Amino acid sequence: MIKLTIKEASEYLGVAKSTLRRWEDEGKIKPERTAGGHRRYDKSTLISLKNKKENKKLTIGYCRVSSSDQKEDLERQIKTVSDYCSARGYQFKIIKDIGSGLNYNKKGLKELIKLICEREIDRIVINYKDRLIRFGYDIIEQMCDFNGVKIEIINYTEDKTYEEELVEDVLSIITVFSTKLYGSRSHKAKTIQQENKELFK
C-alpha cells in the first residue's frame, strides 16, 4: 500500500496543503500518523478523491479465495485483475476477501456493496464469476444495473478450484445446520460433520 507525504499528496491532487488539512478537519480524508506525528496519505484514497474531483468513478477489482491456505491463488488473482485494469487504463482499487462464497458478511464484500449503492464506482472486475459470490450473483448483478455499475469478468471458463470450493461450501452448510440442530459440542453433530468430510473426500 503506497503512502504519500502531505507535500506529495497535495501535488498529486493539485491542491494546497492547507486544503488537505481543512479536508481532514471536515472529515473528508483521514491520513495516518507516523510515530513523529507526520501525516501519511493512502494512495488509493487519493485516487478516489481525484476521481471525484474530476467527476470520474473508480474501478474495483474484487478478488476472493475461500480459505487462508489459498493465499497464493489470491495473489495470482490480484495480479491478473491488476494487469487487466492497468492494460485498459482504469483507475482502480483492489478489494480482497478470504471467505466462503456463501458468506455474505465478508468485510470486502460489504465494502463493495456500499460502493455500489453509493454510486461511487464505474465497474467491478473479477477473474471468474464465482469469485464475486457463489449464490445470489443475479442479485448483485441487478444491484449493479440499478446503480449504473458494470461487471467485467476476465475468464468465462470454469475456475479450476470450483469443485474444491463447492465441496467446502457444502460442508460449511452441513456444519451450520448440524450445530443448530444438535448444538456445537454435541457428539451427534461432530459425528455428522466427520462422516460428511469422509464422504466428500
Measured distance CA(76)–CA(83) in Å, rounded = 11
68 belongs to the catalytic site = no
Q: What is the pLDDT of residue 126?
A: 96
Q: What is the pLDDT of residue 9?
A: 92
Q: Which residue is it, cell 457463489?
A: 134
The sign one gets for the Cα dihedral 126, 128, 131, 136 is positive
- Domain chopping of the chain, boundaries: 3-53, 58-153, 162-199
Q: What is the pLDDT of residue 75?
A: 94
Mean pLDDT by 10 residues, the chain (201 residues): 89 91 91 93 81 76 88 92 92 89 83 88 91 84 92 78 61 60 59 55 54
The reply to whether CATH 1.20.120.850 applies to domain 3-53 is: no
Phi-psi group of 98: left, alpha or beta (phi > 0 → left; psi -120 to 50 → alpha; rest → beta) = beta
Q: What is the pLDDT of residue 47?
A: 77
What superfamily in CATH does domain 58-153 come from?
Resolvase, N-terminal catalytic domain (3.40.50.1390)
Catalytic residue among 48, 66, 100, 178: 66
Q: What is the pLDDT of residue 179?
A: 61
The reply to whether CATH 1.10.287 applies to domain 162-199 is: yes
Examine domains 3-53 and 162-199 and report if their fold is the same: no
Q: Is 36 exposed, middle or buried (0-12, 13-18, 19+ CB in 10 A)?
A: exposed
Q: What is the pLDDT of residue 103?
A: 72
Measured distance CA(188)–CA(182) in Å, rounded = 7
Amino acid sitting at position 154: I
Please give the model's pTM, rounded to 2 decimal places. Answer: 0.58
Phi, psi of 105 (to 5 degrees): -105, 20
